[in-house]
Each structure stands twice: as C-alpha cells, then as structure tokens.
Amino acid sequence: MKKNTENIQIYLENCFSDLSFVKKSVSVADGHSYCVFPGFCDVHVHFREPGFSYKETILSGSLAAAHGGYTAVCTMPNLNPVPDSADHLAAQQQLIDRDAVISVYPYGAITVGQQGEKLSDMSALAEKVIAFSDDGKGVQNEEIMRQAMISAKKLGKTIVAHCEDNSLLHGGYIHDGIYAKAHGHKGICSESEWGPIARDLRLAAETGCAYHVCHISCKESVELIRKAKANGVDVTCETAPHYLILDENDLQEDGRFKMNPPLRSTEDRQALVEGIADGTIDMIATDHAPHSAVEKSEGLQGSPFGIVGIETAFPLLYTVLVKNEIISLEKLLELLCINPRKRFGIPFGNDFTVWDLDARDTINPATFLSQGKATPFTGKTVYGKCISTYSNEKKVYPYTK
Ligand code: DOR
Ligand code: ZN
Ligand code: ZN
C-alpha cells in the first residue's frame, strides 16, 4: 500500500501542469488499475443549511460530494437566512467551518432575501463569497441586474445567473414539448430561459462584468452564448449531466424527473453536446438539489423542482460521453475540474480522487450519502466507481472521523 501512496504523490506533482496524468494509472494488488484525478469541482450545489436540514446538511452534502470525487463545491444561497448580509452569511460559514469535509465556498445573494428588489450588501459580502447568485430564482428586473453587474465588476466578482422569466411560466413544470402535450401537462417554454440570457449578455457587454450562466438546457441558450463569446463578452456557462443524457422522451410520471430548468427536446440535448464539444459550454455542474422523499413523491406537477446529482455525475458522464467517444477523458476532466477552478479562482490544493474505471455499477440511491434520493438515473448501469477521495491530504471518502 505504501508504494501506491508514493505513486499517487508522483502523479499529483504532474497533475496540474498537463493532463497526461489521466492516461496513467496506479496498479494495485487486486489487479485492477485505478486512475488518479485532481478533485472535481462543482460550482452549483444546494446543501440546504441553514434552514432546510431535513433535505440536506453541510455534512451530508459534503460527504456525498466526496463520494462523487468532488473536493470543492460552491453552495447556492436559497437558504434561511439567505446569505445577503455579512451576519446572515456568518451563520452559514459557521456550519461550513464546523461540518464540511471538503472545501465549501458559499455564494452571496444578489438581492436581499433573493426577492429581486434591492441589492444585497454586496461590498460587505464580496471578500467572503465565491461569487454572487440568486439561484433558485431569476432576477426579473433589468435595472437591478444592471446595478448588480456594475457592483460585481467593481468588487472583482462574477454574477452567476439562474435565468428564468417568471412572466413566461404560466404554471408550467416540465418542458413545453411533445411529452407535455401528449400527457396534458403544463409546459415551460425555452424562451423563459434564453430571454433572460439574451438580456444579461447585453448587460454584461455594457458593464464589462464577468458573467456565468447556470444550468443551460436549450439550443437557443447555447447559440446566444456562442455568439457572445465570439463578440468578446466575458461569459462562461455550465450545463448539468441530466441535460446531456436525458430529454423529454425519457420523462416518467415521477418527481424524480422534475427539475428546473426541465429536460427539453432531443434537439436541445444534441445542441448541448455540441456546445460541450466546441467549448461554448465551459463546465458541467450538477445542480445537486436534494429534497425529502415525501416532497418528491408528488409526481411531476406536485413535487418540488430538483434532483440529486453529485454522487452520479462522473460515472454517468464517463459512461455516456467518454465510453461512447463523444468526448475524451481529458475533456471531461477539463469540464469537471480544470475549467470551474480557473473561472472561479478555486485552488487545486492537495486534493485528488481515485477511480476504478472498469468497475460496473448500477445506480442505487440507497448507496447515496446524500439525504436526497431522487434521481432519474435509478437502475442505470454505469462504469466507474470511486475508490477514495482526499481533500487537504485527509481521506474524505470513505470517511472516518
Ligand atoms: O431544480 C432546481 N432545484 N432548480 C432550481 O432552480 C432550484 C433548485 C432547488 O433549490 O431545489
Ligand atoms: Zn437554478
Ligand atoms: Zn440550483
């Protein structure tokens, strides 16, 4: 075992200057060959504390992250209290300091209470937060978003936007497409996402603010961001594994298939894959959004939006995108750990994760360390099993106190 540890150290020394390490592997006693990767980084998770610890805690969320190979996450601010002032943020930071087993970076809210009306105390928060977001809600008012961008630019921070135009929702809860029509459900149109993106790209160009778009799900969003990048706007974006792997044809009458934005059409999914391949989409984030089993038992209409994802992201993406030769393993690692760290200035630290890529596994929520169990991928066969994860030289998966 000592020899393995030495091998891993040698890998790590080379890890971050070039990506050749992914081709190498560590042979271990049982004959399997394990790959060592730098710790993954998820810029979009919901760890639910303070306020909603029955859904997830900093401890359960960070243990789940370590199980997924992640050593750094950024937590969204739809909490109680909302981190919109230094005091409110301190309540969250105390829990992080006490309970997190990996690096947890909180977002500060853009607006007070995420109400979209008045800017949060951005200058007091700036030094203590990774960036600003009102995720869970879109900033409806253009002038508020303009002021937020002007302030973020001054403070050297990025605006991270959940783009959703409430005036176009009309009570919808899945994509406004063939499944919704066939089954009598209320749909969410794609414009409710791309409309606000178009507005914000204009504002980002005007203000020079660094701007990042959350969880893009439709083809128009990809195209808008592609054009903005070509025009020199300081924009990056993420999509999530479920938008790359599933679409409305996979929907079932089950809360496990409900998230916001919704699974869209096959064409949209294909445009996202193209956006990944050509670099328009910079990173993959999970939007890990746990809810209780009771909450998620109310079908497509009655369940809250949100699925868990942090424990299944790598095996799913490796199986569907890499094994099918849609992208390389190096590219996947860029999307999961290099690009997010670069954009948000998150250090690599002495963090790494060890995977058996040949191990076959069936996704089973009973094995999740997250309190949330709702995933549309239950029962799917995947390749890739996390053997161990180290954060700051401490073994955090499997975790022992
Ligand atoms: O699916 C989602 N879940 N989308 C969101 O915007 C919010 C999130 C949550 O907090 O549950
Ligand atoms: Zn969101
Ligand atoms: Zn979210």
Q: What is the pLDDT of residues 317-345, one digit of tens each?
A: 999 999 999 999 989 999 999 999 999 99
Range with the poorest average pLDDT among 50-59, 220-229, 329-338, 375-384: 329-338
Is there an atom of ligand 1 within 6 Å of 88 CB? no
For range 26-50, the mean pLDDT: 85
Give the residue, by CA position, lying nearest to ligand 1 atom 4: 260
The amino acid that residue 161 corresponds to is A
Residue 71 CA to ligand 3 center (angstroms) comes to: 19
C-alpha dihedral (273, 274, 279, 283), degrees to nearest 10: -10
Give the residue, by CA position, lying nearest to ligand 1 atom 7: 136
Tell me what pLDDT residue 1 has.
36
Is there an atom of ligand 1 within 6 Å of 162 CB? yes
Q: 34 pLDDT band (50/70/90 cuts)?
A: confident
Residue 200 CA to ligand 1 center (angstroms) comes to: 20
Tell me what pLDDT residue 367 has.
98
**Which residue out of 75, 76, 135, 169 has the highest number of ligand 1 atoms within 8 Å of its CB and is therefore the one to mutate?**
135
Closest atom of ligand 1 to 306 CA is 1
SS (H, E, C) 316-359: HHHHHHHCCCCCCHHHHHHHHHHHHHHHHCCCCCCCEEEEEEEE
Nearest ligand by distance to the CA of 285: 3
Q: Give the rounded percent of residues in the chain with a pLDDT score beyond 90.
A: 88
**Mean of per-residue pLDDT scores for the chain:** 94
Tell me what pLDDT residue 12 has.
47
Residue 383 CA to ligand 2 center (angstroms) comes to: 28
Residue 3 has pLDDT above 50, yes or no: no
Q: 33 pLDDT band (50/70/90 cuts)?
A: confident
Closest atom of ligand 1 to 259 CA is 1
- CB pairs under 8 A, 24+ apart, for 152-155? 152/122, 152/209, 152/210, 153/207, 153/208, 153/209, 153/210, 155/122, 155/123, 155/126
Residue 49 CA to ligand 3 center (angstroms) comes to: 14
Residue 23 has pLDDT above 80, yes or no: no
Tell me what pLDDT residue 28 has.
61
Give the residue, by CA position, lying nearest to ligand 1 atom 2: 306
Q: 393 pLDDT band (50/70/90 cuts)?
A: confident
Residue 208 has pLDDT above 80, yes or no: yes
Q: What is the pLDDT of residues 56-98, one digit of tens each?
A: 999 999 999 999 999 999 999 999 999 999 999 999 999 999 9
Residue 31 CA to ligand 2 center (angstroms) comes to: 43
Closest atom of ligand 1 to 136 CA is 6
Is there an atom of ligand 1 within 6 Å of 260 CB? yes
Closest atom of ligand 1 to 258 CA is 1
Is there an atom of ligand 1 within 6 Å of 305 CB? yes
Give the residue, by CA position, lying nearest to ligand 1 atom 5: 136
Q: Beta strands 33-38 and 394-397: pairing type?
A: unpaired
For range 32-43, the mean pLDDT: 89
Tell me what pLDDT residue 27 has.
60
C-alpha 288/C-alpha 148 separation (Å) is: 25
Is there an atom of ligand 1 within 6 Å of 289 CB? yes
Residue 24 has pLDDT above 70, yes or no: no
Tell me what pLDDT residue 401 has.
84
Residue 4 has pLDDT above 70, yes or no: no
Closest atom of ligand 1 to 305 CA is 1
Tell me what pLDDT residue 350 has.
82
Neighbours of 361 (CB within 10 A): 17
